[in-house]
Structure formats: C-alpha cells, structure tokens
A and B are shown apart, each in its own frame.
Chain A
Amino acid sequence: MKLSEALGIINRSRTIGSVQSYNLICGFTPLHLETYIKAMLQMQDYEHRVVINLGVYGDIFSGLNQSARTVPTIICLEWGDFDPRLSWRSLGFWSNEILENILSTFKGRLDRFAIDLEKAAEESRIIVTLPLLPLPPIGTNPYIQTHPHTLLLKGMMLEFGARLSLHNNVRILNDDAIRLENSDLDWDFKSYLKNGYPYTLGTTARLATKISRLVVERSPIKGIITDLDNTCWSGIIGDDGLDGIGWTQEHGAHEHGLYQAMLTSLAQAGTLVAIASKNSEDTVAEALELTSIMLNKAQIFPIEVNWGRKSDSVSRILNAWNISAGDVLFVDDNPLELAEVKQAFPEMECVRFPVGEPNKVKSLIVELRDRCGKSIVSPEDLIRLDSIRKMAVYNKDTKNLTSSVDFISTLDASITYSISDRFIDDRALELVNKTNQFNLNGKRFTLQKWVSLKEQADRFLLSFEYNDKFGALGRISVLSGVIVQGQLVVDVWVMSCRAFSRDIEYFILSELFAHFEVDEICFEFLDTIKNAPLKTFLLTHTIPEPIGDRIVIAADDFVLNCPDLHHTSTKKLN
C-alpha cells in the first residue's frame, strides 16, 4: 500500500462519528507507522473512525503507564528503549568497559517493563513488536562475528517476549511473518537520524499489516478437507502402488510430508481435518496404516474415499461436522475437482495444492498455520473431534427412533453451569462470535466491548457445559442480560449447534426462571438470516405475539410447553 492510499483511507473516514481508539507506544517518532496502522485498522472497521492515541515521545514506560487501559495497545520496541547506548540515534560509548553495565541496565529496565506490561494486559489486548533494527556494533570483534554481549542482549529480549507471550491478552508479532515475503527488513538510517523514524515505507506497510492482523484477530478456519494423491503424498496410489507414493526426502517429496505434519498439528489443536479422495478404500486404508506416514488417522474424520463426485464427499463431511462451507478450506491438486467443489459450494475456499513447486508448498503450509491457528486452544477445541464422532453415532442411533424424547431420557446427561460477572473469558466470547443458528440477535463483540459489559449495573453472565454418555461437549451455551426495573432482559444467547436435540435450551430457560425468580423473561431478538432454530424455539413459547424485536416468555406459558427434563445439573459460582 502506498502512503497516498493510506492517507486516502484515513481521510475518507473523517465523517464517521463513532470512534474506536487504540494506543500506539514507541520510543521513536511514530510518523508513517501511525498512518499505516490507522489505515489498516480503518479498512477493517466501517462503523468507527479509528483514532490512534500516541504515547510520550521517547519514553515507553510513561507511554504505557499513562495510556488508556480500556483500549487495545500496540507497543513497538527498539533496543534504545531500554538503554540509549543501544540506539544508533544516541551518542554513547561502545567500549568493552561499559558492556557489562549495558547488560545490567538493559536487564533491569526490561524486567520492569515486563511487570508494567503484564499489569496493563489484565485490562486490554496488548500487541508487541520486538526490536527490528540491528544492534549497534558493540564489542571488539569483527562485525561479521557476533559478540557474546550481543547474543546475551538478544537472549534477554527473547526471554522477555516468551514470558509475555504466555499472557492470554498479549500477542507478540512473529517477525518471521514479515520476513517471509521479503527477507530484507529495510531501515532508513538517514530518516532515523533526521526525523526519528527508522523504517522504510515498504517495511512500515508490511509491519502495519501484520500488526493490524494481531489487533483485529480474524476467526480461524474451522476445517480442512484434503485430497490425497499428489497432495498428501506425491504420486497416485491407484497407479503407482504403495511403493510409488512418497512424502520423504528419499522420494524427493519432503514437502508433502511437511504438509501432512501441518495437518496433524492443526488437528491436535482442534482444527477439523477430513479426507476426500477418489480412490479405493482398501488401498488408502493400507497407506494410512504405514508407520512412516505423518497423518494421524485417529485425528481425521470423516475419511471419504470413493469414486463418486468430490462435492458429494464434501457435502457428507460438512454434514458430519455441522459447520458452514464458508468456514472450510478444500485443498486438492486437481483444478477440475477444485472447480467442481467450488461450483457446489461457492462460499468454500478451494485451494490448489502446488504439486512440484516446493516453495509454494512451503507458503501454503505457513498460510494454513496462519489461517487455522488459534492464540488460545480451549478445552472445547481438544474434544471437538471426539464429540463430532460421537454425534455421528448419536445421529445414527436416533435416526429410526420414533420418540426422541424417550431417547433423551437415556442419555445420562449432565449440565454444569456458572453465573458470574467474569467477562475476561475467551471461550465465551469465541462462542458468541462464531455461533449463527442458535443466536439471539447475531451481535458480535470485540474483546473490549465484551469486557465493558461487566461495567453495566445488574449485568449477569451464564455459561453452560454439557456431558452425556456419548461424551463431553464442553462449553456449549452462553447467555447474558441485565435486570431492568425488576424485569429480566436477555440480550445475548448462543448455543453451539452440536448441542441441539438434547433439550438443553429448555433446561436453560427453566434455570433462568428458577434462579432469578421472575414471572417473565424478555429476549432482545433480531431475525438474522441464520437464526431460525432459535426463533422457532422462542416463538413456541411466547403468547401473545412478539412486539417488534422483543419476545417475552411468561413462566406459566413456558411450563405448559416444557418437556420433562432429565438432565442432572451442577451450579458453579464464580
């Protein structure tokens, strides 16, 4: 992006009344970095005008301590922030005699900053970039040889980053992600000396793009459907046999092994992985049993191996997963298959596996990590595949039953729920932001907006976890509302579609009436394209007809329509 384009984006947003602020703290003049970050963030937010609050020039400590704690904070560090003798812009001595002093000063200030930053991260999202500039040529050795003190300084900085990266609310920029496109991270020494701004425009644009991705995290891809021949392995197993396919250096196919390893790694963190392959089942089964294969069959479900259309296989996979096509990536080497699936599922992203092009395979693997990765892996992520497999068994068992109610009574279902005001809860927010079908009004929240709900008087938050004889589903529902003049008003209610057909929604309403001892509950409902299941449920119980976007359910009416509930329940207080 050119500087003129960035300024154009910012200028066009001037008339937007509602503001979203961010803090930017750096020891150098923010200049073009402020402009580009503002533009990148503005591109992702049509509803607000982006405002960047700048920290105190030259002092990141004061900048952090004086910054507003309720908005996201971006901190761009350079070496000189912790000891001016490590800045090219300061005149300090680099002799051997003071190197130990530099080390101890640097460590002391770095540790102090870590403490301040951890405190700030309790209240808002913090994005940190570690130093990108080279260290000045300290030491006595030739520059081509790294001085031990240089390594010690870099080690301390990396330890600092590692410590902070463990915090749920801190994101450390991976500078490999900037270097991937262009290994040169250009800096502009002349500009640094003259204006106090160290990076070229090209580096600034790349840096700002990555920073904005960390500020506004996009939802990860939920599932990957992969082909096998010339994708997971080189060769075509039907033609070449087991000996003719490969995924190792020996076969000149190492990049295929890396792709398999990435799929396995993603599956372990909760990304759904399935296979859709035109092959014979027995042949593929043999391949998946090989000890050298990097795919873990236990973490792949479903495995669709047949001679039918790929789109039919994909359709069955989507049904088993119960997620929308737009949340899935389909990877295949064959352009015809990609086109066929794309035509059947226009919203699905169909990606060609670049067989024979190892550099592009490397880029694909990194992109999969980037698109599917999660900053925090929740317990629900780890049990997702198991619960989907068990759901498949459950659906098979209930298919021919005439009475699902009788079946529910045999589930040994238990629900654990908590009532709290702790809105710092990534899983609750994740559920609210990704659920579509059982969603009261489709409201989405940034982390800041979600956390700010707790400031409202009489705001409550309930979350529900479910378990039955088919396995644990983890946290499956979140509900929040306020008590206004004695009336219970619910404005957030979502439930994972994996939890449908278990009468959990009835349980939730029943508990709401009992806990709050109210005669009526008002729901702030909004018809979205996808929330028909919730609408149908609510309208079953509301008499008279809803007025506008408020649906009121009376306890008496609810009791008339509520089936016998067979869940055992446990209430946790947070």
Chain B
Amino acid sequence: MDKQVLINCFKLVFPLLTDDEILRCSTSSFPEWDSVSNIQLTCIIEEECGVDLPDDILESLTSFDLIFRYIRDKV
C-alpha cells in the first residue's frame, strides 16, 4: 500500500496540513481531527483504498501511522 495514497486522503479532509504534519498527525495532537472529520476521513479512506474500516477497529485507529499499518496489513 502506497503511503502517498493515504496522505492524499488526509489532505482532502485536512487541506492545510503538510505531508510531514500528516505523517505525525493523531487525534490527540490535532484538534481539527474530531468526530465529524473522522467520519469523512473514514469514508474517503474506504473509497480510495478499497478497505473496510469496521467500527470496533476504528476507535483504535487514532493516528496516521496506526491507520497506515492497519491498511498495509489488511491489503
């Protein structure tokens, strides 16, 4: 799984972040990553990466890195 695809998903929801900021981004470090933007982000990732992010897993995917590792292992 190409990391840039996931970065582009984040950029759609958080257009003001740089690539580096996205790589280090988490729900605790970035206030704009709230429940509403999380819903959008989830839909975008499912759309663009062709994966399903089940609710029971979503709660634990709180950073870019965690999401990337989950998708990489799934695909």
Chain A: residues with CB nearer than 8 A to chain B?
2-4, 7-8, 11, 14, 29, 31-32, 35, 194-195, 197, 201
Q: Tell me which of B11, B12, B15, B44 contacts A14 (CB under 8 A).
A: B15
CA A32 to CA B41, docked complex, whole Å: 11
Query: By the criterion CB–CB under 8 Å, are B12 and A2 in contact?
Result: no
Complex interface residues of chain B between 1 and 59 (CB less than 8 A to chain A): 9, 11-13, 15, 35-36, 39-40, 43-44, 47-48, 55
Query: By the criterion CB–CB under 8 Å, are A11 and B15 in contact?
Result: yes
Query: By the criterion CB–CB under 8 Å, are A4 and B48 in contact?
Result: yes
CA A270 to CA B3, docked complex, whole Å: 58
Query: By the criterion CB–CB under 8 Å, are A2 and B55 in contact?
Result: no
Using Cβ atoms and an 8 Å threshold, which residues of chain A touch B40?
Answer: 3, 7, 31-32, 35
Q: Tell me which of B11, B15, B35, B47 contacts A3 (CB under 8 A).
A: B47
Query: By the criterion CB–CB under 8 Å, are B43 and A201 in contact?
Result: yes
Query: By the criterion CB–CB under 8 Å, are A7 and B13 in contact?
Result: yes
Interface size, B (range):
10 to 19
Jot down 9 A-B pairs with beta carbons below 8 A, ordered by A.
A4-B12, A7-B12, A8-B12, A14-B15, A31-B36, A31-B39, A32-B40, A195-B35, A201-B43
Query: By the criterion CB–CB under 8 Å, are B12 and A11 in contact?
Result: yes
Using Cβ atoms and an 8 Å threshold, which residues of chain A touch B47?
Answer: 2-4, 201
Q: What is the distance, in angstroms, from B19's C-beta to the closest C-beta of chain A?
A: 15
CA A195 to CA B41, docked complex, whole Å: 14
Using Cβ atoms and an 8 Å threshold, which residues of chain B touch A194?
Answer: 55
The answer to whether A32 and B55 touch (CB under 8 A), given A4-B9, A4-B12, A11-B12, is no
Q: Tell me which of B9, B15, B39 contacts A195 (CB under 8 A).
A: B39
The residue of chain B having its C-beta at the shortest distance from the C-beta of A195 within the complex is B39
Q: Tell me which of A3, A14, A29 contacts B43 (CB under 8 A).
A: A3
List of 3 A-B pairs having minimum Cβ-Cβ separation, nearest first: A7-B12, A11-B15, A3-B43
Using Cβ atoms and an 8 Å threshold, which residues of chain A touch B15?
Answer: 11, 14
CA A201 to CA B48, docked complex, whole Å: 14
CA A201 to CA B47, docked complex, whole Å: 10
The answer to whether A4 and B39 touch (CB under 8 A), given A11-B15, A194-B55, is no
* Apart from A195-B39, A197-B39: 4 A-B pairs, beta carbons within 8 A: A3-B40, A4-B44, A11-B12, A29-B36
Q: What is the distance, in angstroms, from A24's C-beta to the closest C-beta of chain B?
A: 14
The residue of chain A having its C-beta at the shortest distance from the C-beta of B45 within the complex is A4
CA A4 to CA B45, docked complex, whole Å: 9
CA A7 to CA B41, docked complex, whole Å: 11
Q: What is the distance, in angstroms, from B46's C-beta to the closest C-beta of chain A?
A: 9
Q: Tell me which of B36, B44, B55 contacts A7 (CB under 8 A).
A: B44
CA A4 to CA B9, docked complex, whole Å: 8
Q: What is the distance, in angstroms, from A312's C-beta to the closest C-beta of chain B?
A: 52
Using Cβ atoms and an 8 Å threshold, which residues of chain A touch B35?
Answer: 195
Using Cβ atoms and an 8 Å threshold, which residues of chain A touch B48?
Answer: 4
The residue of chain A having its C-beta at the shortest distance from the C-beta of B16 within the complex is A14
The residue of chain A having its C-beta at the shortest distance from the C-beta of B15 within the complex is A11
Using Cβ atoms and an 8 Å threshold, which residues of chain B touch A195?
Answer: 35, 39
Using Cβ atoms and an 8 Å threshold, which residues of chain B touch A11?
Answer: 11-12, 15
CA A545 to CA B4, docked complex, whole Å: 61
Using Cβ atoms and an 8 Å threshold, which residues of chain A touch B39?
Answer: 31, 195, 197
Q: What is the distance, in angstroms, from B68's C-beta to the closest C-beta of chain A?
A: 17
The answer to whether A3 and B55 touch (CB under 8 A), given A11-B12, A31-B39, A195-B39, is no
CA A240 to CA B36, docked complex, whole Å: 66
Using Cβ atoms and an 8 Å threshold, which residues of chain B touch A197?
Answer: 39
Q: What is the distance, in angstroms, from A7's C-beta to the closest C-beta of chain B?
A: 4
The residue of chain A having its C-beta at the shortest distance from the C-beta of B43 within the complex is A3
Using Cβ atoms and an 8 Å threshold, which residues of chain A touch B12?
Answer: 4, 7-8, 11
CA A35 to CA B13, docked complex, whole Å: 11
CA A195 to CA B36, docked complex, whole Å: 8
Q: What is the distance, in angstroms, from B30's C-beta to the closest C-beta of chain A?
A: 17
Q: What is the distance, in angstroms, from A16's C-beta to the closest C-beta of chain B?
A: 14
Using Cβ atoms and an 8 Å threshold, which residues of chain A touch B9?
Answer: 4
The residue of chain A having its C-beta at the shortest distance from the C-beta of B35 within the complex is A195
Residue among B12, B35, B44 with most chain A CB within 10 A: B12
Residue among A3, A14, A29, A35 with most chain B CB within 10 A: A3
CA A2 to CA B8, docked complex, whole Å: 14
The residue of chain A having its C-beta at the shortest distance from the C-beta of B12 within the complex is A7
Using Cβ atoms and an 8 Å threshold, which residues of chain B touch A31?
Answer: 36, 39-40
Q: What is the distance, in angstroms, from B57's C-beta to the closest C-beta of chain A?
A: 15
Using Cβ atoms and an 8 Å threshold, which residues of chain A touch B36?
Answer: 29, 31
Using Cβ atoms and an 8 Å threshold, which residues of chain B touch A3?
Answer: 40, 43-44, 47
Using Cβ atoms and an 8 Å threshold, which residues of chain B touch A35?
Answer: 40
Q: What is the distance, in angstroms, from B70's C-beta to the closest C-beta of chain A?
A: 19
The residue of chain A having its C-beta at the shortest distance from the C-beta of B39 within the complex is A195
CA A476 to CA B47, docked complex, whole Å: 53
The residue of chain B having its C-beta at the shortest distance from the C-beta of A12 within the complex is B15
CA A4 to CA B12, docked complex, whole Å: 7
CA A35 to CA B40, docked complex, whole Å: 10
CA A8 to CA B13, docked complex, whole Å: 9
Q: What is the distance, in angstroms, from A9's C-beta to the closest C-beta of chain B?
A: 10
CA A29 to CA B40, docked complex, whole Å: 13
CA A31 to CA B43, docked complex, whole Å: 11
Q: What is the distance, in angstroms, from B51's C-beta to the closest C-beta of chain A?
A: 14
CA A31 to CA B35, docked complex, whole Å: 11
CA A8 to CA B12, docked complex, whole Å: 6
The residue of chain A having its C-beta at the shortest distance from the C-beta of B13 within the complex is A7
Q: What is the distance, in angstroms, from A186's C-beta to the closest C-beta of chain B?
A: 15
Q: What is the distance, in angstroms, from A159's C-beta to the closest C-beta of chain B?
A: 36
The residue of chain A having its C-beta at the shortest distance from the C-beta of B55 within the complex is A194
Using Cβ atoms and an 8 Å threshold, which residues of chain A touch B43?
Answer: 3, 32, 201
CA A230 to CA B11, docked complex, whole Å: 53
